[in-house]
Amino acid sequence: MTSSELRNLKKQKEEAVDDDDGISQLSDALLIQILSLLPIDEAFTICILSKRWQYLWTLVDNFYFTCANYSDIKSYTGERLDDEEDSCRDYHQINPFATLSKNSICNFELLDLAKGDDMDLLSLVPSFVFPNLKNVKIVISPE
Amino acid sequence: MASTTETKQKKMLILKSADNDEFEIEESVGVQSETIKNLVEDGFTFVPLPNVYTKALIKIIDYLKKHANKTDSNDEEIKTFDKDFVNTTFDDLFELVSAANYLHISCLMNMLCQTIADRIKDKSPEAVRKIFHINCDYTPEEEAKIRKANAQAFEGQFDESLD
């Protein structure tokens, strides 16, 4: 088929598929593959989109986090706030990373970790037990 | 360049889209798709693709043809082609990623997923909802609760654009 024939066909068909509605046709597996390419904190914000999306992000296979400073990641893995525990129990989201499916994670990357925080990293280890981890990359920023 | 006789000897495949258009392509071009490759290995030369619409199939055939002729010298050309290929609407990208997934073309899948991820990065939840055609089924109270519990995740500047 020549390219001009292709172009004609394309024109004819363009309208027919225009009313297809975007990503709702994509499978959960495909959405998870896309979410896996986002930094983990961005993947997490996806939970706000709708109930279908609430737990999709917890099945990502990459844990990417760029910490401008260590306090960022601490705020995600930090302690539950007692007074809010009851009101938020349904969402498990005071410590959102606790809801991650630990078995799914294959790649773990912490970028731009500030110097000096690397020691504190040890205290994070209990939060990050990923049985199927294959690659780990931790980059400490020079200054 | 292939001579005329060689061209005649090339094995050809027919792909049939979900909307019943047929496309003839060289077998060597088609087998970059794992799905097509498996069918070819089982002796099929006619490949119905009930999950791939013509619009996406035309673009994917273009992609396969370009990438089948990959050599050291046209690396830049292919990069430009790829960049152009993904420079389209979100709806087109979703259609293409579905098709590439069904056809098991991993390099295309990776490129499309990465493009979609890069383009929704930094977008506001409202913008992402519109882009993905999501109906929010949280009550305003439920949404407020999640936002409040994770204030740090929903702070800061978001990109509201839909492109």
pLDDT tens over chain B, length 163 residues: 544 555 557 899 999 999 999 999 999 999 999 999 999 999 999 999 999 999 999 999 999 999 998 888 889 999 999 999 999 999 999 999 999 999 999 999 999 999 999 999 989 999 999 999 888 889 999 999 888 877 777 877 788 888 8
Contact across the interface for B132 and A24, Cβ inside 8 Å: yes
Residue A82 has what pLDDT?
A: 42
Tell which of B29, B55, B145, B148 to mutate to test the A interface (max A CBs under 10 Å).
Answer: B55
Cα separation, A9 vs B22, in Å, equals: 11
Residues in chain A: 143
pLDDT of residue A90: 41
Question: Residues 71 to 90 of B: which have CB under 8 A from any A CB?
Answer: 90
Nearest to A114 by CA among A68, A78, A74: A68
Give the pLDDT of residue A125: 54
Written as one string, the DSSP assignment of B51-114 is T--HHHHHHHHHHHHHHHT--STTHHHHHHHHHHHH-S-HHHHHHHHHHHHHHT-HHHHHHHHH
User: Tokens 């020691």 map to which residue?
Assistant: A119
Task: Find, in chain B, the residue whose alpha carbon is nearest to that of A35.
Answer: B117
Q: Which residues of A touch B91 (CB under 8 A)?
A: 20, 22
pLDDT at A21: 43
Q: What is the pLDDT of residues A6-49, one digit of tens each?
A: 565 555 544 333 334 444 568 899 999 999 999 888 888 888 99
Q: What is the pTM of this model?
A: 0.79
What is the helix (H) or strand (E) element at residue A62, kind and residue range? Answer: strand A62-66
Is residue A118 very low, low, confident or very high in pLDDT (cuts 50, 70, 90)? low
In chain B, residues with a C-beta closer than 8 Å to the C-beta of A33 are 109, 113
Contacts of B24 in chain A (CB under 8 A): 1
Question: Per the CB < 8 Å rule, is B114 touching A37?
Answer: yes
Rounded distance between C-alpha atoms, residue B33 and residue B104, angstroms: 5
The answer to whether B132 contacts A6, with C-beta atoms less than 8 Å apart, is: no
Which is more confidently placed, A126 or B62? B62
Please give the Cα distance from A129 to A125 (Å, whole number).
7
